[in-house]
Amino acid sequence: MDTLAVLLKAPQELALSRLPLVDPGEDDVVVDVEWSGISTGTERLLYTGRMPPFPGMGYPLVPGYESVGRVVEAGPRAGRDVGARVFVPGARCFGPVRGLFGGAAQRLVVPGTKVRPIDERLEERGVLLALAATARHALAAPGAPLPELIVGHGVLGRLIARLVLALDGKPPTVWETNPVRADGAEGYSVVDPIEDERRDYRCVIDVSGDATILDTLVARLAPGGEVVLAGFYSDRLSFAFPPAFMREARLRVAAEWREGDIEAVTALIAEGRLSLDGLITHHEPAERADAAYRTAFGDPACLKMILDWRACP
């Protein structure tokens, strides 16, 4: 078998290419992808060549970890049904071409244990499960308070704010400096940081990816307050020690989601407590992948770009 896939040959050198697929085994499923999402965090860093050293990093590579499609083949030990619509958090099925994270392709070969059946009604919104699980993981550290301030009103920031409300927390404040992204709040407030005078936040979650922001955030903490880094940062982070010392500030790094996170958000969605509506703003057919990536990374009005693979030959 082979497949059409987004191939990053080198930084800023992207094409739709036909690649061979590994043969599926008894534990694998073959998924025909319907939609995949473009991440404006890690994928932007891959595209620009600014991704820090990371396991599996290198070019050429197939990006993407937000795919939804149908199971068209299932091995006898795969544990999945042919015809099921599933979420696929990436794949490594392209032979010598790196799969980091390997989901932006028309067809994928994946272990059945790695894909998750999803509600048919989610359709393309199913690609947002990875970000929803990432948002939940940032909140889920044992004993951690829910955030009172979220920095950044992209998709991840919106999902964190929605989760705080879904978990019966107090409406958080969200900082956003770009007026294009200030709209769309549901039950919480979005402000420019220069308009916010508060300096007693117990928990701040940053999803901006701005490596220079720590001093600003520490200055807004209450004594014993915590800053959670939930973005992905290409540059070295640093902060002035005395203000952090005087506040006994805590710093936590939120890594990638775990299986329990995706189970938790799936349950919240099924219960109607967490909505994925209004977060997908742009669509392109997969044949226009190059234009889609440039829009996703260059247009601040683009919250989430979806590649539609259904019409590919």
The residue written with tokens 């800053």 in the block is 227
Residue 153 clears pLDDT 90, i.e. is over it: yes
pLDDT at 132: 98
How far is it, in rounded angstroms, from Cα 160 to Cα 187? Answer: 12
pLDDT digits (tens, 9 = 90+) for 219-248: 999 999 999 999 988 889 999 999 999 999
Superfamily of domain 131-253: NAD(P)-binding Rossmann-like Domain (3.40.50.720)
What is the band of 56 on the pLDDT scale with cuts at 50, 70, 90?
low
Closest to 87 (Cα-Cα) out of 209, 263, 213, 283: 263
The residue written with tokens 């799936």 in the block is 266
What is the band of 52 on the pLDDT scale with cuts at 50, 70, 90?
confident
Omega of the bond leading into 172 within 30 degrees of 0 (cis): no
pLDDT digits (tens, 9 = 90+) for 254-297: 998 999 999 999 999 999 999 999 999 999 999 999 999 999 99
DSSP string covering 88-116:
E-----STTSEESS---BSEEEEEGGG-E
- Give the percent of the chain with pLDDT over 90: 88
Residue 100 clears pLDDT 80, i.e. is over it: no
Q: Model's pTM, two decimal places? A: 0.95
Within 13 Å, how many C-alpha atoms sit on residue 84's CB side?
18
What is the band of 101 on the pLDDT scale with cuts at 50, 70, 90?
confident
The helix, strand and coil proportions of the chain, stated in percent and rounded to the nearest 5, come to: 25, 30, 45
Closest to 253 (Cα-Cα) out of 274, 226, 284, 225: 226
* Domain residue limits, the chain: 2-117+281-308, 131-253
- Tokens standing for residue 171: 């409406």
- Give strand ranges (E) for the chain: 2-10, 13-20, 28-38, 61-62, 67-74, 85-88, 98-99, 107-111, 116-117, 149-151, 173-175, 189-191, 201-206, 221-229, 250-253, 282-285, 305-308
**What residues pair up with 236 in beta bridges, in sequence order?**
none
Contact in structure between 137 and 255 (CB atoms under 8 Å): yes
Residue type, position 56, single letter: G
pLDDT at 123: 97
Residue type, position 203, single letter: C
pLDDT digits (tens, 9 = 90+) for 166-178: 999 999 999 999 9
How far is it, in rounded angstroms, from Cα 180 to Cα 178? Answer: 5
pLDDT at 53: 73
pLDDT digits (tens, 9 = 90+) for 182-222: 999 999 999 999 999 999 999 999 999 999 999 999 999 99
- Tokens standing for residue 286: 């997969």
- Tokens standing for residue 256: 């990638």
Judged on CB neighbours under 10 Å (0-12, 13-18, 19+), 71 is buried
pLDDT at 8: 93
How far is it, in rounded angstroms, from Cα 166 to Cα 162? Answer: 6
For the CA atoms of 62, 312, 81, 266, the dihedral, rounded to the nearest 10 degrees, stands at 60
Contact in structure between 6 and 105 (CB atoms under 8 Å): yes
Q: Which of these CATH numbers, 1.10.10.10, 3.30.9.10, 3.90.180.10, 3.20.20.140, describes 2-117+281-308? A: 3.90.180.10
Domains 2-117+281-308 and 131-253 share a fold: no
